[in-house]
Amino acid sequence: MATKYVEKKGKFFVPTKAAKEESLAPQDIYKRAKADRVKLWGELARDGLSWAKPWSKTYEQTSNGFGWFVGGKLNLCYNAVDRHLNNPDQTAIIFVPEDVNEKPQYISYFELYKQVNQAAALLKEKGVKKGDVVAIYLPMIPEALIFMLACARIGAIHSVVFSAFSADALKTRIEDGGAKVLVTANYYSRKGKKVELEKDADKAITGMQVTKIVVDRAKSGKMFEGKADVIVKPEVMESEDIALLLYTSGTTGKPKGVMHAVGGYTVQAYYTSRFVFNLKPGEVMWCTADIGWITGHTYACYGPLLNGATTVIFEGLPNHPTPDRFMQIIEQQKVNVFYTAPTALRMFALEGSDYAKKYKMESLKILGSVGEPIDEKTWMWFFDNIGKGRCPVIDTYWQTETGSAVIMSLPGHGPFIPTYAAVTFPGIEFDVFDEKGKKVPNGKEGILMEKPPYSPALIRGVWKNEERYKKYFVGKLYNAEDNAIMDKNGRFRILGRADDVIKVAGHRLSTAEIEDAIDGLKGVVEAVIVGKNDALRGVVPVAFVKTKGDITEEQVVGKVIERIGPIAKPAEVYFVEDIPKTRSGKMMRRVLRALLHGEDAGNIMTLINPECVNKIKAQVEAKHPELKNVKPVDSKAAPVGKKEDKKK
C-alpha cells in the first residue's frame, strides 16, 4: 500500500509521522536558520557540495553588491555529473518523446558524463572560452541539458532561449548577450507536427558572426554516438563567477538578462531540491517546465542532477495526444516528484476527474506548484486526483531573479494550506513592506521584499544594464515587486505582481484576489481581471472568464461581491474561448488592457494562443463600437515595451 505523507488536521493539511521520519530537512532547520542564517548556509554548502578550494568568507556585502562563499572555487558540472560516477549505471535522464511510438531513452550518469565531455570539446573546438556566452535554442531533448552542462564544465555562460520563441525574440537575446555560438536543432515535434526550429535560428543570426551547432532531432540523445571518447577537465570557477544568463520573457517590456553566480546558484539549487522535494539519490523528478525558463534550469536540470536523482524531460504537451498523457508518464516512469503550473492543472481539470481514477500513481510522494498563485479549487483537484489524498501540495514562490524557490512549506514540516505559499526557505528572510521600504503590519497587504543577508542564488546583475539592477533594491531590501500578505505566523499569501493591482475609487485591489473569487464558481476554468480606465472611479475591474458550462454575468459579479465586496465587482464580464498567455503560462494582462482601451495590442509572437486575441477584440468592439478604429492585431509586429523602453 502506498505511503500516506499528509493528513487533514482542522483547516490545514499536515505531514504524517512517516513524512516527518523521511524528511531530509532536519526538524531543527528553522531554529538553526533563525540563530544565524550565514552560518547555516556555510554549513550546508560545506556538507553538500564538492569544492576545489574552500572559501575565505561565507558572506560579503558591499555598497556595490554582495557575494557568497567568497574565494571558494568549484565547478557546477562536476557537482552535477562527475561526483556521481561512483554509481555510473544510475539513470540521470529519462527522455520521453512526444510520439507515443518512439520509445523513451534512459541515459545513465556515466553516459551523461561521456556526452557532456563530447559537447564541451565541441564548444572548445568552436572557440568558446571561459566567460564566453553560448546561446542554446533547443526543445526538450537530452542535448538541451547536455550543452548546458558542457557550458558549465568549461566555464562558459549559457543563455538558454525558449524554443517556441520567434526568430526576432532569439535575435534580441543573442545580440544583447553577445553570444559566440548558437546551439539549436533542425526540428522538434509539437502536437504531431514538425516545428522547423533551424529556420528560425537561421533567420535570427542572419548578418551576425555567430557559429551554429545543429542537433539532429532524429538522433536526440545519441548525437555523439560512435565518436571517440574525450575528457575535458572541469574549469575551476570562482564562486562569484557568472554561471548563467537568462532573459526574462519580456511581458513587462524589453527582456532583462538576469545573471546568477556559480557558487550561490549551485548551493541553492542543490538544497532546495533536496529539502523542498525531499529528493533522494535515485528518485525520479518530473518538472514539466521548459528548459527555457528558470524553473526548467533549476528543477529539470541542475537540481535533480546535483542530488544524484533522475530527471524526466518530455518533448511535447502533457495533454497530447490524450488528456491523460501526463498520468501515463507518471505511472510508467515511476515519478516520485511531480512539479507543474496551475495553468497546466486547470487544463487537466477541464477534463473532469473520472479519467484520473484508472491511474494509481503510487510512486508519487510530492506534488509541487509553480509559476503563479494557485487557487483553492485547483489545489484541491491536484491533491485529490493526482496525489490521491496522500501527497502534500507544495506551493512554491520564486522568480527568475531568485534562482530557486524561496517560499514554501517543507514536506516534513508543513502545514500545507490552499492559496498560501507559506514560509521562507531556511536561511532566507522575506517580509512585507510599503513602496518606501517601511514594514506593514501583519495581515495587511504590501510588497514582498527580501532582507539581507540575501539568499545565495539571488540575481547578481542585469547583463550590460547596471542601472536596471539597482532598481531591484529599495534601500537594503530586494524588491520582488509582488504583492503579498503575511499572517501572524509568518505565512505568506502571494497576491500577484504589484503592477497587477488596480485602484478603484482609491481602494487598492489585487487582481489575483478577484480572480480567486471567480475561480470558485463551479464551471469556471480560469479568470483574469484587468483594470479599465473609468471617468468616475479612476479604474474599474473587467473580467475575462473561460468556462466549461453555462455561467452568467450575474453569477460572476455576485460571487465577487460575496467574497470581496461591491467595490471589487467587475464592471464588465467577457466570456472567452481562451485567455492570452505566454508559453510559460503567464496571463497577458497587457494585451487585454490594450484591447479594452482601443489600443494596438502590439507583439503577440510569444503567446501560446495568439488566435484568441482577435476573437476577444471582436467581443470588446461589439460592446464598444467606438473602439473599432484600431487595426487588427499583427502577430508579426515588433515587440512593444513600456513607455520608458520606447524613450530609450
CA dist 118 and 101 (Å) reads 29
CA 302-307-311 angle, to 5 degrees, is 60
Work out the percent of the chain whose per-residue pLDDT is above 70: 94
Most confident of 301-310, 478-487, 543-552: 301-310
- Grid coordinates given for 101: 511510438
- 640 pLDDT above the threshold of 50: no
Residue in the structure block whose three cell numbers are 550546508: 44
Q: Please report the pLDDT score of residue 539 as a whole number.
A: 85
Kindly report the average pLDDT of the chain as a whole number. 91
Residues 347-375 have pLDDT tens digits of: 898 888 999 999 999 999 999 999 888 88
Task: Pick 22 or 634 by higher pLDDT.
Answer: 22
pLDDT class of 538 with cuts at 50, 70, 90: confident
Q: Report the predicted TM-score, pTM, of the whole model to 2 decimal places.
A: 0.85
Rounded mean pLDDT, 14-34: 97
Q: Cite the DSSP H helix spans in 307-422.
A: 325-332, 342-349, 376-381
| 387 close to 418: Cβ distance less than 8 angstroms | no
Work out the percent of the chain whose per-residue pLDDT is above 90: 76
Rounded mean pLDDT, 489-494: 94
The CATH label, of 3.60.15.10, 3.30.300.30, 3.40.50.1000, 3.30.1300.10, for the domain at 505-647 is 3.30.300.30
Q: Please report the pLDDT score of residue 255 as a whole number.
A: 80
Rounded mean pLDDT, 229-250: 92
Amino acid at 79: N
Ramachandran sector of residue 530 (left: φ over 0; alpha: ψ -120 to 50; beta: rest): beta
Q: Please report the pLDDT score of residue 93 as a whole number.
A: 98
Burial class (CB in 10 A: 0-12, 13-18, 19+), 595: buried
Which helix (H) or strand (E) segment is 589 a member of?
helix 589-596
Q: Please report the pLDDT score of residue 638 as a whole number.
A: 34
- 250 pLDDT above the threshold of 70: no
Task: Pick 402 or 609 by higher pLDDT.
Answer: 402
Same fold, 23-316+396-492 and 505-647: no
Among residues 278, 485, 393, the alpha carbon closest in space to that of 13 is found at 393
Q: Which residues contact 152 (CB under 8 A, 6 or more apart)?
A: 75, 76, 77, 80, 158, 243, 262
Which helix (H) or strand (E) segment is 110 a member of?
helix 109-125
Rounded mean pLDDT, 173-185: 97
- 286 pLDDT above the threshold of 90: yes
Among residues 158, 155, 113, 115, the alpha carbon closest in space to that of 133 is found at 158
Residues 49-99 have pLDDT tens digits of: 999 999 999 999 987 789 999 999 999 999 999 999 999 999 999 999 999
pLDDT class of 440 with cuts at 50, 70, 90: very high
- 121 pLDDT above the threshold of 90: yes
Task: Pick 497 or 105 by higher pLDDT.
Answer: 105
CB atoms within 10 A of CB 430: 25
CB atoms within 10 A of CB 330: 24
CATH class of residue range 23-316+396-492: alpha beta
- 636 pLDDT above the threshold of 70: no
Task: Pick 293 or 234 by higher pLDDT.
Answer: 234
Percentages of the chain per state (helix, strand, coil), in multiples of 5 = 30, 25, 45
Rounded mean pLDDT, 23-28: 97
Beta bridge partners of 61: 66
Q: Report the range of poorest mean pLDDT among 126-130, 253-257, 397-401.
A: 253-257
Q: Please report the pLDDT score of residue 249 as a whole number.
A: 53
Strands (E), 323-417: 337-340, 366-369, 393-395, 407-408
- 641 pLDDT above the threshold of 50: no
Q: Report the range of poorest mean pLDDT among 288-292, 378-382, 560-564.
A: 560-564
Kindly list the domain boundaries of the chain, sorted by start residue: 23-316+396-492, 505-647
pLDDT class of 645 with cuts at 50, 70, 90: very low
pLDDT class of 529 with cuts at 50, 70, 90: very high
Write the DSSP symbol of residue 286.
E
Task: Pick 167 or 634 by higher pLDDT.
Answer: 167
- 252 pLDDT above the threshold of 70: no
Q: Is 559 helix (H, G, I), strand (E, B) or coil?
A: helix
| CA 173 centroid distance within chain | 19
Angle between helix 197-204 and helix 167-177 axes, rounded to 10 deg:
50
Residues 454-487 have pLDDT tens digits of: 999 999 999 999 999 999 999 999 999 999 999 9
